[in-house]
Amino acid sequence: MKATGVTMSRLRILFFLLLLGGLSTLSGAESGHGPTRAYPEPHGEQLCASGCALSRHPTPPLTRERYRELRRDYLEKGSQEALDELLYFGPQTRLKLETDRDLRPSARLERLQRELKRERVLVSFRLIDSEGVERVKMPPMNVPLDLRHVFEPLQAQGVQPPEASGTVKRVGLGHIWQRI
Amino acid sequence: MEGRHSVAGPWFAVHQVGGGWKTLDEIYLSNGRQTTKVKVQSKVDWEDEHA
């Protein structure tokens, strides 16, 4: 499409206004760009739990054999390591449990099912100086596990408001792996 | 300036959920006029403490 003279003039005005907007963020003023929001951004053909841009690290498949070993070790022996690994596999464990005809009700099974329902966490982030001033801050953001998010804009004092991105993944009963 | 580009990080960590702030790194933060050293910190909490 060929731009007319009037259209080019409007484009120049728009460019100048956008440039002013960009300079205002470079002035060092406190961020006034609105609340921080989280935007999901899965990438790759599979949902990448690591969030790495250059490589894909989805959670490996939970084989039937390994599931049976973990099920036995946790439900029959109460192994904490087995519980951690079942939670690491999260959605895969949930699927296996749904079709497992050999399960018997038990307190351990209830605990596992209860823990598998935890699918969201609050992630907070900050850059804090030696005087305790939070120069950049991301308030607690409610995000699901295993899905990369972009967080913008972060709240900033004296610097251009940055953005952040990352992923969180459960790796045990009380532990979360994070890339940010 | 189009697109996004990384200026720091990424950082990787394993958090104890509800364990408070964890320091991932120390970096220098600058606005072109002043530079200050800052700690990069993160924490993770459950959305809902009730199962």
Contact B9 A180 (CB under 8 A): yes
Whether this model's ipTM surpasses 0.85 comes out as yes
How many angstroms away from the CA of B12 is the closest CA of chain A?
5
Residue with token string 């990384």: B6
Among B12, B24, B30, pick the best mutation site for testing chain A contact (most A Cβ within 10 A).
Answer: B12
Nearest to B14 among A117, A124, A175 (CB): A175
Residues whose CB falls within 8 Å of the CB of residue A174, separated by 6 or more in sequence, listed in order: B16, B17, B18
pTM, 2 dp: 0.76
Partnered with residue B26 across adjacent β-strands are B39
Would you state the pLDDT for residue A29? Answer: 36
Residue A155 backbone dihedrals phi, psi, to 5 degrees:
-80, 135
Its sign, for the CA torsion B25, A163, A138, A155, is positive
Position A34 scores a pLDDT of 79
Residues of chain A where predicted confidence (pLDDT) is lower than 50: 1-4, 6, 13-31, 47-51, 53-56
Tell me the two tokens of residue A136: 């950049």
- Interface probe, candidates B14, B28, B44, chain A, greatest A C-beta count within 10 A: B44
Q: How far is CA A144 from the centre of its chain?
A: 6
Question: Across the interface, do A175 and B10 touch by the CB < 8 Å criterion?
Answer: no
Kindly list the residues from chain B whose CB atom is less than 8 angstroms away from the CB atom of residue A126.
21, 41-42
Of B29, B20, B10, B43, nearest to A165 (Cα)?
Answer: B10
| pLDDT (0 to 100) of residue B32 | 86
Quick check: B3 pLDDT over 80?
Answer: no
The predicted structure's pLDDT at residue A46 = 53
Give B11-46 pLDDT, tens digit per residue: 999 999 999 999 999 999 888 888 999 999 999 999
Would you call A179 and B30 a contact, using CB atoms and an 8 Å cutoff?
Answer: no
